[in-house]
Amino acid sequence: MSTETFSPGLEGVVAGKTAICCVDQGKLLYRGYPISELAEHVVYAEVAHLLLYGELPTKKQLVDFRTMLDGFHGLPKPVIDAIRLIPRDVPMMDVLRTGVSMAGHFDPVKGTSLDDQRRRAVWLIAVCSDVVSTRYRLLQGKEPVAPKPGIRHAAQILLMSHGSEADETSIKLLDLTLTLYAEHEFNASTFTNRVIASTMSNMVSAVTGAIGALKGPLHGGANEEAMELILRFKNAQEAGAWVNDALAKKEKIMGFGHRVYKNGDHRAHILEREMRKLAEVKGRQDLVAVYDAIKNPIVSKDKPIYPNVDYPCGLTYYLLGLPLDLYTPLFVCSRVTGWCAHFIEQQSDNRIYRPLSQYTGPAERRVQPIDQRG
């Protein structure tokens, strides 16, 4: 008798063990710490240290970590030249995938010891934000900006994109989204990354593959699509009418639903609260009214579907004045840390991923040589 189980999309399947992150109905923990406490008390560099090294850094470790990250900023000239050659209309996520892959040819870390892999991960954090900010500037006819040592990673991304230091509110909110996006267990892109790691391939290949997976609108691409949806409506009435119609037609609404969370996404609660404060400061209650007009009918259905982190994130980034094409790439700038932590964990206790499939093709048949096929 067959012991195989069929689970489309691997739903409900435990495909591996991890000490990095726990995603449960009631909680989200990074290495044991609740996301709400991390969101309140630490900055992204501390989260990155926690995910890669297993513990929150001491003050000295944080300085050392930042020094290492600062030292890795600045793309090699051939990578900048390659980014220049990519046609203007290519989406930023595709540029990021190519940029990371190209930068991989100039990997400054040579070995594969645990320390080398952690340093390579820190280098990849710098590469991702450098590719995004470089491309953003080149599209505006401007040259890349040098990093400023010792500042928060969110501040660095904004400085290297805009060419001037950002205000504290923007830095704080971008930093919060980076913390919330940093890690989420065996989601599609992390699983892609772990599958590549399980072949004992290299870290750059795994991150490049993961970027491809994150791009899709059912995964990271949802933050951009959720904001595009909000911008489609002139007011709350229009949005409300549309959403009721969409629900009746069983359309998927971007930024809602989750494979694991069925009672709401912790990250969405945290970010929505901050987004509302920001909207008030910016005087954009009109956008929040549309946001609520889309959300309310979905969460008050008989079978409610709750916003995931991408729904408030789209509007947060919009209120911060960031262009839509940067939303999912900023997700990468954060999640690259989680991917690299999983890469290291996978290779430290590896078993290659190789599930089975259910064959639905033709029954066995005989090959006819070409001159008998008519």
| Contact residues: ligand COA, CB under 6 A | 218-219, 222, 250, 252-259, 305, 308, 310
- Least distance (Å) from ligand COA to the CB of residue 164? 33
Active site residue 41: no
Answer for the pair 146, 237: CB distance below 8 angstroms, yes or no.
Answer: no
Q: How far apart are alpha carbons 371 and 315 in whole angstroms?
A: 62
Q: How far apart are alpha carbons 207 and 222 in whole angstroms?
A: 19
Answer for the pair 336, 72: CB distance below 8 angstroms, yes or no.
Answer: no
Active site residue 310: yes
- Least distance (Å) from ligand COA to the CB of residue 216? 9
CA distances from residue 134 to 71, 83, 215 in whole angstroms, order as listed:
17, 8, 19
| Number of neighbours of residue 247 by Cβ within 10 angstroms | 14
- Least distance (Å) from ligand COA to the CB of residue 14? 16
Tokens representing 221?
Answer: 């691409």
- Least distance (Å) from ligand COA to the CB of residue 239? 14
Active site residue 162: no
Q: How far apart are alpha carbons 160 and 134 in whole angstroms?
A: 8
Q: What is the DSSP letter of 321?
A: T
CB nearest ligand COA: which residue?
A: 257
- Least distance (Å) from ligand COA to the CB of residue 354? 23
Pairing of strands 21-23, 28-30: antiparallel
Tokens representing 364?
Answer: 């066995």
Whichever of 123 and 256 has its CB closer to ligand COA, that residue is: 256
| Number of neighbours of residue 259 by Cβ within 10 angstroms | 15
Tokens representing 256?
Answer: 């809602």
Work out the angle at residue 104's Cα, subtended by the Cα atoms of residues 98 and 108, and round it to the nearest 5 degrees.
145
Catalytic choice (130, 175, 265, 310):
310
Whichever of 147 and 338 has its CB closer to ligand COA, that residue is: 338
Catalytic choice (219, 269, 292, 325):
219
Whichever of 128 and 254 has its CB closer to ligand COA, that residue is: 254
Pairing of strands 28-30, 33-34: antiparallel
Work out the angle at residue 232's Cα, subtended by the Cα atoms of residues 229 and 233, and round it to the nearest 5 degrees.
110
Catalytic choice (258, 265, 266, 342):
258
Whichever of 107 and 292 has its CB closer to ligand COA, that residue is: 292
Q: Which residues make Cβ contacts (< 8 Å) with residue 8, sequence separation at least 6?
A: none
Unique residue bearing structure tokens 């501390």:
46
Residues tagged active-site = 219, 258, 310
